[in-house]
Amino acid sequence: MIDQRVYEMFRDIGRDMYVHNLVSSHGGNISVRFGDRILIKRRGAMLGRLKPHDIIETGLEKNDSGVALASTELIVHRAIYKATPALAVVHAHPRRAIALSLTRDEIVPIDNEGSYLLKKVPVVSVEFASGTKQMADAIADALCSYKIVFLRGHGSFAIGQTLDEAFQWTDALEEAAEIIFYAKQLNEEMIEYRRMSDSYSKW
């Protein structure tokens, strides 16, 4: 039985992700880890319109009937929880960041908020970029060192202690990507305002 407080957390974050254009109608997924259990969005459910029955409970290690209902990316969420100290995972399809991931191996924010919060977001590339073990392992491995990573051409995976926190990294990334776009469109020389800014790409 899902605690009402937990449902409201899923509902609010899911709604915000859709409203912020971080996912399309049925894209993205979110989950939390409670001990040896995972609560994850139902496969095919709309993040912006989650109902209590859209929150599926299943095992972290063991399969049960929940896997028939859970998000396609359950395998990735499980791998992340097993490899990292995360208690929440947010997977989104932020559009400008996806575009940037097609041209670079890391997204290094140039705005203050992005630099302050994220420093650098590595871009991971795998052949089968949806719901595969290869992809799950690559993402989980990258999240051992970073709180948000990007799967090239697909989307972001962010971890946190809470959904709120993982959502923050996701939203901050898309904001940083948008600013990179604007700065590029200006096509003028950037005036660096950050000390040791060269070090961000080594983060």
Kindly list the residues in this chain that would bind another protein in the complex (CB under 8 A).
Answer: 3, 5-6, 32-36, 83-85, 87, 116, 119, 143-147, 160-162, 164-165, 168, 195-196, 199, 202-203
Q: Which is nearer to another protein, 164 or 178 (CB)?
A: 164
Tell me how far, at minimum, the Cβ of 158 lies from another protein, in Å: 13
Q: Which is nearer to another protein, 132 or 168 (CB)?
A: 168
Tell me how far, at minimum, the Cβ of 142 lies from another protein, in Å: 10
Contact 13, 163 (CB under 8 A): yes
Q: Which is nearer to another protein, 165 or 178 (CB)?
A: 165
Contact 80, 140 (CB under 8 A): yes
Put the strands of the sheet holding 155-160 in their side by side order. 55-59, 37-41, 29-34, 88-92, 155-160, 148-151, 121-124, 106-107
Q: Which is nearer to another protein, 62 or 128 (CB)?
A: 62
Angle formed at CA 140 by CA 39 and CA 104, multiple of 5 degrees: 120
C-alpha closest to that of 61 among 43, 79, 41:
79
Tell me how far, at minimum, the Cβ of 153 lies from another protein, in Å: 25
Tell me how far, at minimum, the Cβ of 68 lies from another protein, in Å: 23
C-alpha closest to that of 123 among 145, 142, 141, 140:
142
One-letter amino acid at 167 equals: F
